[in-house]
Amino acid sequence: MTYIFIKTPKDCDLLELGEDGLRFEKEHAYVGKFRMKRPEGPFDFELTASALEEIASETNRYIENGNKSNLPTRHTEDSEANRGHNLKWYVKEDSKGRTGLFSLTEFRDVEAAKLAKTAQTSIYCPPTWEDGQKNKYVRPVKHVALTDYPVIPGLDGFTPIAASLVTDKEIIMPIKDLAANIGLQLSDEVLADESKAFGAIQLAFEEVKAEAELQLSEYKKLNPPKADPIKVSKPQIAMLRENRELKLSQLVEKGNILPCVKKKLEDIFCGEAVLSLALSQDDHVDDFAKVVDALRDNDALKLSEVTGPQTQNVGLLLSEETNPVMAVARRAAARAAAR
């Protein structure tokens, strides 16, 4: 089986060519304003490029869902009048430079295909349609009637696209264009062999993909994703606060610090924000443990036995402004707040 590129404004499709001369490309409409004569009076209508695109898209979906876009000898659904099927719909420029609606049409036999020499076409697409599986469509082409008196004049006729009628140039040029679009230069020898040409294009795509994956890998190494902070619950925060308050209370009981110092340390190390930060980041250090260890070295005996004037001196030593331990605590709190 041979294939040919049919270029459309949106993409580049590969259409399978028949080997028996029964497949044709046919234009059925183009952008413009038209008048349909009817017994009840003339009906004027306009076809735009977007309308043709929608008709092609909906009809392809209609066909892909198992429905037939038939080719009867008149506007009818009588199976006896059917002469073939429309296999695929697309929009492209016609021979006169107009944006046209085309189909890949296949006649049922050689006798039916003889109509392609003289017949024109008229499409039937209802405003809406629902098939047997309840799929709904907007203006799908249910059938294309063969006629000598089409509503839209000047349509391109049936163009055979059987494999026997396609020249090497017609097949090679689209492949060459495709290669050029991705920056690939193919020799005439490779272009002459369809399998080699497609193989070279596929290899080029694989190389581009591999290079992109390598660049992405290097980027990820240089920009590792930041770990999300661990979510902590209120019970966890409460448990850590209780643990720290207990350790500070033990320092007061042993005479290592005064109650007023305990209160200041709780303000620094037992606030909800500080506790949440300590629980949510494994590498976070707020120096609470170091401060507690340092305070345990205070001489509990001298704190408990000092006289009046000495007590005043101790109170001054352990005040917020002059106590070196409190200074360390304040600096730790500042670092925690800055994180």
pLDDT of residue 192: 75
Residue 72's identity, in one-letter code, is: P
Q: Residue 13: its pLDDT value, please?
A: 44
The dihedral sign for the CA sequence 303, 308, 310, 312 = positive
Instruction: Give every CB contact of residue 42 below 8 A, 6+ residues apart in sequence.
Output: 35, 36
For the ranges 7-21, 84-98, 187-201, which has the lowest average pLDDT? 7-21
- The answer to which of 50-54, 185-189, 302-306 has the lowest mean pLDDT is 302-306
Query: Is 195 contained in some domain?
Result: no
Do 123 and 253 sit in the same domain of this protein? no
Q: How confident is the model at residue 309 (pLDDT cuts 50, 70, 90)?
A: very low
Q: What is the pLDDT of residue 80?
A: 93
Q: Is residue 242 part of a domain?
A: yes
The last residue of a domain, from among 148, 166, 184: 166
| Domain enclosing residue 302, as ranges | 234-338
Say whether both 42 and 144 belong to one domain: yes
Q: Which stretch of DSSP H or E encloses residue 286?
A: none
User: Is 197 domain-assigned?
Assistant: no
Structure confidence at residue 283 (pLDDT) = 55
Q: How many domains does the chain have?
A: 2
Residues ≥6 apart with Cβ < 8 Å to 284 = 277, 278, 336, 339
What are 35-92's pLDDT values in tens digits?
A: 988 888 898 999 999 999 999 999 999 999 999 999 999 999 999 999 999 999 999 9
Least confident of 55-69, 115-129, 184-198: 184-198
pLDDT score recorded for residue 188: 79
Among 112, 141, 166, identify where a domain stops.
166
pLDDT at 274: 82
Tell me, what's the pLDDT at 221? Answer: 82
**Does 244 lie in the same domain as 102?**
no
Say what the pLDDT of residue 38 is: 84
262 shares a domain with 161:
no
In whole angstroms, give the CA distance from residue 286 to residue 332.
6
The answer, yes or no, to whether residue 33 has pLDDT greater than 80, is yes
Final residue belonging to a domain, choices 166, 187, 220: 166
Residue 329's pLDDT is what? 64
Q: How confident is the model at residue 307 (pLDDT cuts 50, 70, 90)?
A: very low
**97 and 238 assigned to the same domain:** no
**Mean of per-residue pLDDT scores for the chain:** 79
Taking only the tens place, the pLDDT of each residue in 147-166 is 999 999 999 999 987 543 44
Do 159 and 238 fall within a single domain?
A: no
Long-range contacts of 296-300 (CB under 8 A, 24+ apart): 296/251, 296/254, 296/256, 298/255, 298/256, 298/257, 300/254, 300/255, 300/256
Residue 228 falls inside a structural domain: no
pLDDT at 226 (0 to 100): 63
Split at pLDDT 50, 70, 90, the class of 200 is: confident
